[in-house]
């Protein structure tokens, strides 16, 4: 049984520090320290811990921020770091942390939470877009410069910045009592989406195998590796190829007016496959 707690003491933040070291190994300078976590928690930020049998298995950290509109700056919550202990993954801890964040930040009267993640990480795409209902039309190149931690070392730190419009019916629907039904490859086939590029197989891993089509129509699909970290460990050149190719895919689609609105992780066939679904004309969500 997982319980979520709002954290604010130095002792609790020490546990958060330790969990970060486990999730992002080999880079002490990337650990958010106790004093900053405490300060954020005392000044409009939010630090959450997920506990199983009194042991912290997940952390989520965010702070109050601003975004800029033609009418001036508006408040938002900037969610910066979520990590779940490797032994506790895929059992709903990440979802439970984000759901608690949704509840707490709504109580602050805010309507938008943003965060960044690597768009090639299928698990994160499935959670952020497919299960939480966040959307994205912002692609950021090398946003964190060169990263040295064990998860990110060696690849350009390109990221999606997602928008989570927390007071919309869309997001309420995703986080409601019943779990949002996941889309499958059958849905893609039936909806006659435009496939932006073909993929081929090399040593069991997919690679981009054709030119990027010019985006047309209302629905696009873009396939990504189902396990990018495994691919990266096995074939680093292919991982770099995916970074460069997917950068072109998303920058082209976003500048043509498309928005990432759903994610498909289909495990029903011979190998798991992952796809982003992009929609035209929903940028005001
Ligand atoms: C991203 C992270 C926080 C998710 O935590 P989690 O507790 O595993 O998340 P959940 O269990 O709530 O959701 C994960 C979902 O992805 C699914 N999943 C697992 N492997 C997947 C894959 N290769 N592709 C797509 N989805 C996958 C799980 O089945 C689960 O979905 P389900 O609930 O429908 O079964 C965790 O994996 C983590 O700490 N990763 C390393 C750090 C990181 O990337 N942090 C985020 C950026 S700061």
- Same domain, yes or no, for 73 and 143? yes
pLDDT value at 101 more than 80: yes
pLDDT in tens, 252-269: 999 999 999 999 999 998
pLDDT in tens, 129-179: 999 999 999 999 999 988 877 777 789 999 999 999 999 999 999 998 777
Residue to mutate, 23, 92, 118, 123, ligand 1, most ligand atoms under 8 Å from C-beta: 123
CA of 71 to the centre of ligand 1 (A): 37
Total number of domains constituting the chain: 2
- Same domain, yes or no, for 101 and 210? no
- Same domain, yes or no, for 159 and 194? no
| Local confidence band at 47 (pLDDT 50, 70, 90 cut-offs) | very high
Q: Is the CB of 78 under 6 A from ligand 1?
A: no
Residue where a domain stops, chosen among 156, 175, 194: 175
Q: Is the CB of 226 under 6 A from ligand 1?
A: yes
Name which residue sits closest to atom 48 of ligand 1, judged by CA.
81
Query: Could you tell me if residue 264 is inside a domain?
Result: yes
pLDDT value at 16 more than 90: yes
The 10 Å Cβ neighbour count of residue 233 is 10
Domain span at residue 144 reads 2-175
Residue where a domain stops, chosen among 122, 148, 175: 175
Q: Is the CB of 229 under 6 A from ligand 1?
A: no
pLDDT of residue 6: 98
Rounded Cα gap, residues 82 and 269, in angstroms: 30
Confirm if 209 and 199 have CB atoms less than 8 A apart: yes
pLDDT of residue 285: 46
pLDDT value at 26 more than 90: no
Query: Could you tell me if residue 202 is inside a domain?
Result: yes
Q: Is the CB of 122 under 6 A from ligand 1?
A: yes
Query: Could you tell me if residue 63 is inside a domain?
Result: yes
Residue where a domain stops, chosen among 175, 210, 236: 175
Rounded Cα gap, residues 191 and 221, in angstroms: 11
Q: Is the CB of 83 under 6 A from ligand 1?
A: yes
Question: What are the structure tokens assigned to 98, written together?
Answer: 């984000």
Concatenate the DSSP letters of all residues of 126-162 into one string: IIIIIIT--EEEEEETTTT-S--STTTTTS---EEEE
Name which residue sits closest to atom 41 of ligand 1, judged by CA.
83
CA of 91 to the centre of ligand 1 (A): 8
CA of 70 to the centre of ligand 1 (A): 36
| Local confidence band at 180 (pLDDT 50, 70, 90 cut-offs) | confident
- Same domain, yes or no, for 31 and 140? yes
Query: Could you tell me if residue 201 is inside a domain?
Result: yes
pLDDT of residue 282: 61
- Same domain, yes or no, for 13 and 99? yes
- Same domain, yes or no, for 163 and 198? no
Provide the phi-psi class of 267: left if phi over 0, else alpha when psi is between -120 and 50, else beta.
Answer: alpha
> pTM for the full model?
0.95
38-43: average pLDDT = 97
């Amino acid at each position: 049984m997982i319980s979520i707690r709002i954290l604010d003491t130095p002792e609790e933040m020490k546990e958060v520090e330790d969990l970060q070291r486990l999730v992002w190994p080999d880079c002490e300078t990337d650990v958010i320290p106790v004093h900053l976590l405490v300060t954020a928690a005392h000044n409009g930020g939010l630090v959450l811990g997920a506990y199983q049998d009194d042991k912290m298995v997940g952390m989520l950290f965010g702070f109050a921020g601003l975004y800029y509109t033609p009418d001036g700056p508006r408040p938002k919550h900037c969610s910066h770091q979520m990590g779940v202990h490797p032994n506790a993954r895929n059992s709903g801890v990440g979802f439970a942390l984000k759901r608690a964040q949704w509840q707490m930040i709504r109580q602050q009267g805010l309507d938008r939470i943003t965060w960044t993640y690597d768009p090639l990480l299928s698990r994160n795409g499935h959670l952020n877009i497919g299960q939480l209902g966040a959307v994205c039309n912002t692609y950021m190149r090398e946003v964190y410069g060169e990263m040295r931690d064990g998860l990110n070392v060696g690849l350009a730190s390109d990221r999606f910045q997602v928008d989570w419009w927390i007071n919309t019916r869309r997001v309420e629907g995703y986080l409601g009592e019943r779990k949002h039904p996941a889309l499958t490859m059958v849905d893609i086939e039936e909806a006659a989406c435009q496939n932006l590029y073909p993929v081929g197989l090399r040593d069991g891993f997919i690679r981009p195998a054709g030119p990027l089509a010019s985006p047309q129509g209302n629905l696009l699909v873009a396939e990504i590796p189902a396990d990018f970290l495994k691919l990266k460990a096995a074939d680093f050149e292919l991982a770099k190829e995916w970074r460069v190719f997917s950068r072109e895919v998303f920058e082209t689609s976003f500048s043509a007016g498309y928005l990432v609105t759903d994610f498909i992780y289909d495990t029903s066939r011979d190998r798991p496959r992952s796809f982003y679904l992009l929609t035209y004309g929903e940028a005001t969500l």
